[in-house]
Each structure stands twice: as C-alpha cells, then as structure tokens.
Amino acid sequence: MITEEVREAIEKISGLIPEERLRRDEPMELHTSFRTGGPAAAFAVTVNEDDLSAVLSALAETGAEHMLIGNGSNLLVADEGYPGVIVKLGGDFEMIEQDEEDPCLVRVGAARLMSSASVFLTGRGLSGFEFASGIPGSIGGAVFMNAGAYGGEMKDVVESVRVMNADGSGAGTLSSEDMDFSYRHSAAEKGDMIILLAVLRLRKDEPEAIAARVAELAAKRSAKQPVNFPSAGSTFKRPVGGYAAALIEESGLKGYRAGGAEVSEKHAGFVINKGGATTEDVLAVMRHVRKKVFEDSGIMLEPEVRLINCSL
C-alpha cells in the first residue's frame, strides 16, 4: 500500500524531472540481475547532480520511503514489490574520463558499468582494474560494497569518491581512507551518503597485455561460475575462517531447488534463476542453505545480496 508520504513525493518529483523519467508501478524484475521482483511505487531516473539533489530533497521533505540503486546486480526485491520510490542514476553519472595532467587517474561516474569501464581502461593501457572486469553492476555499487574478485578489491584502485548527503545536500569528496573500506564494506553502507563518482588510480601497461589478463579472468569465471543464468553473484558473504561455497557443497546442497531457484551445480556459492523463479523461490533456497550449513558446521551464513522489502 502506498503511503501519503510516497504519494506526495511522487507529485513533487513529477514537477522536477520529465515525466518519461518518472515511472509508476515499475516492475523491478526489469532492473535486477536475478530477474525477479514486483513493482516499485515509483521509479525515478536522475541524470545529473542537480537532478539528484532536487529529487533527494523532495524525498527528505516528505519523509517518503526510498532507495537508490545501481545496476541491480546485488538486489533481491520482494515479489510484492517496493512501496516507495526507487532512484536510479543515468546520464552524466555514466561518464568516464582520463585526467589530462595525470593519465593514471580516471574519473568514473557511479552509473558506469564495470564492464564498460574495463573496456575504456584497457584501451588506454591502464592496468589494475582487471580483477573487476567481469563483476556485474556499476561503479557506484562496487564502491558501496567494496566489491572484489580474484584477489583484488575496489579499495585497491579507488583514490577518492565524490559523494552527496542522503538528503541531497552537501556534495563533496572523500579520500579512500575516509571511505573506511574493508571486506565487502564501505562507509557508504551507513546510509548517510550517495556515491556520485569515483576517482581511480591505475598504472600504465601495454593494452594487449591488459586485454590478455582480462580474457584469462573471463575464461576462469566462465569455467567456474554459472554466468549463463540470472543471479546476484555470490549469494552469501565469506564467513570467518572459511568459504561459503565450500560449506554449501560440503552440506550436499549443490542442485538444491525450490521452484525456479537453485543452488548452482557449477558453483555452490551462487543461487541462480533457472527459469521463472520468484523472489520467494530464491529466499526459500537461501533459508534452507543457511539452516543446513548451520546444522552441519555451526556457521550461520550471512547474505551478500541485499534484501529489499523481504527477509530470510
């Protein structure tokens, strides 16, 4: 049920951005890599800082429930949908540019896809981002959770981050140290800041050598991960002293299925949409996995995927 605060916010936002960028009852299955999720009450696309500031200010004024999303590659949205306003970045937030004075510095908008950023950097002979080339999602989302793969993390390449307060005020810059990066964590997770862009520091190398490393990692990912099925990547965080995938496999859960959702037989760390899965199917698999692994190992797995309007 939509609250009066959300109705008021939608009315305010409709006067701030063009109607084609404000959609009502937008199916979230169109905006998540799991390809599940019911409708959001409203879905607003902002294309520059002024846009975003105005929309966030309207949301703060009304007190309407809302959230910002990137490419939706780490989200699991309830089948009932989301009763608030989803804000997505586009336009200027997809920019990427090399610094003219220091060519090893690159400014990347929060909405730029990781795969696209990798192509840009490879073409300009800038190394250090290879680990991230196959990570689904946007730069903003990757910085938000300090995404990583194959021994690298975003904190290794992020020099600074431009952020805005969650109410649309006070845009400014934070250093990598200010971002308090740790395993799958950054200061942005506290919810009081919005990531606008990241400044990356890379190192020079031959484009052909970088491309070869990217191709090698892509081959490894394709061989070991179920890249041909919708998922949110690693479903659970790595627990202290172990690996989620190993624990799940040791519990005999590869191939465990509920409806259209399944623990991948290729990589136990992935819950995948085998076709027609609902969010409740995915949650049912996750709940069973957590229960069985805890019974077998005493370790309670924590979700890496973000649960929106639903819970385990």
User: Is the pLDDT at 196 greater than 80, yes or no?
Assistant: yes
pTM over 0.85, yes/no: yes
Strand 261-263 relative to strand 271-273: parallel, antiparallel, unpaired?
antiparallel
Final residue of a structural domain among 57, 89, 121: 89
Confidence of residue 263 (pLDDT cuts 50, 70, 90): very high
Confidence of residue 191 (pLDDT cuts 50, 70, 90): confident
Question: What is the spatial distance between Cα 62 and Cα 93, in angstroms, rounded to a whole number?
Answer: 25
127 and 188 within one domain: yes
Q: What is the pLDDT of residue 192?
A: 86
Question: What is the spatial distance between Cα 69 and Cα 64, in angstroms, rounded to a whole number?
Answer: 16
Residue 55 Cα to chain centre, angstroms: 21
Task: List, for residues 102-158, the tens digit of each pLDDT value.
Answer: 999 999 999 999 999 999 999 999 999 999 998 888 999 999 999 998 899 999 999
Averaged pLDDT for residues 159-179 = 96
Q: What is the pLDDT of residue 135?
A: 87
| The two three-digit tokens of residue 106, written as one number | 């690159």
Q: What is the pLDDT of residue 99?
A: 96
| The two three-digit tokens of residue 308, written as one number | 């929106």
Final residue of a structural domain among 36, 54, 89: 89
Q: What is the DSSP string of 196-239?
A: EEEEEE-EE--HHHHHHHHHHHHHHHHHHS-TTS-B-S-SBPPP
Question: What is the spatial distance between Cα 41 and Cα 278, in angstroms, rounded to a whole number?
Answer: 19
Task: List, for residues 57-91, the tens digit of each pLDDT value.
Answer: 999 999 999 999 988 888 999 999 999 999 999 99
181 and 115 within one domain: yes
Q: Output helix, strand, coil percentages for the chain, rounded to the nearest 5.
A: 35, 25, 40
Q: Is 204 a domain residue?
A: yes
CATH of the domain at 81: 3.30.43.10
Annotated catalytic sites, by residue?
184, 234, 304
Strand partners, 165: 193
Give the residue, 254 or 145, on which the prediction is more confident: 254
Percent of the chain with pLDDT over 70: 100
Residue closest to 86 by CA, chosen among 150, 16, 151, 13: 13
129 and 81 within one domain: no
Q: Is 229 a domain residue?
A: no
Q: What is the pLDDT of residue 14?
A: 97
118 and 82 within one domain: no
- Name the residue range of residue 21's domain: 4-89
Averaged pLDDT for residues 246-262 = 98
Final residue of a structural domain among 190, 224, 258: 224
Confidence of residue 211 (pLDDT cuts 50, 70, 90): very high
102 and 49 within one domain: no
User: Is the pLDDT at 253 greater than 80, yes or no?
Assistant: yes
Question: What is the spatial distance between Cα 67 and Cα 45, in angstroms, rounded to a whole number?
Answer: 12
What is the average pLDDT score of the chain? Answer: 95
Q: Is 230 a domain residue?
A: no
203 and 291 within one domain: no
Averaged pLDDT for residues 166-176 = 95
Strand 82-89 relative to strand 66-69: parallel, antiparallel, unpaired?
parallel
User: Is the pLDDT at 1 greater than 80, yes or no?
Assistant: no
Q: Is 235 a domain residue?
A: no
Q: What is the pLDDT of residue 195?
A: 97
Confidence of residue 35 (pLDDT cuts 50, 70, 90): very high
